[in-house]
Amino acid sequence: MQACAVEHVIAGLKAVGVSVVCYLPDSLLKELYPALEPDPDIRTIRVTNEGEGAAICDITREHSNSREDKYIFVRHVEQTENIVIMGPSDHN
């Protein structure tokens, strides 16, 4: 993920009122996590598994797939900010 994409993602989170982010470190968004940590407007919580993150965030949707949710979010940011974060994939 390019630095400008990280900035756009953080701006997008703030624009929609996100103030808490739980994350399970992975390679897809690895550049985003260090940028979120020092941000005073967003509280970050590193979790050890998806279930822990869902419990903390009180996500109760059935059939939630956190990996798919990340793709959906990243594609949303790409479309709204007219930038490319990931290349083409089967998750378009």
Residue 16 is encoded by which pair of tokens?
């929609």
Q: Identify the H or E element spanning 72.
A: helix 66-81
Determine the Cα–Cα distance for residues 23 and 69; give it in Å rounded to an integer: 12
Q: Determine the distance from the C-alpha atom of residue 41 to the mean position of all C-alpha atoms in its chain, rounded to a whole number.
A: 15
The radius of gyration of the chain from alpha carbons, rounded to an integer in Å, stands at 13
Q: What pLDDT is recorded for position 45?
A: 87
**pLDDT (tens digit, 0 to 9) for every residue of the chain, 92 residues total?**
777 889 988 998 888 888 888 888 887 888 998 999 999 998 888 888 877 777 777 654 455 556 666 677 777 778 777 888 877 765 54
Domains of the chain and CATH, by start: 3-81 (3.40.50.970)
Q: What pLDDT is recorded for position 60?
A: 42
DSSP 35: H
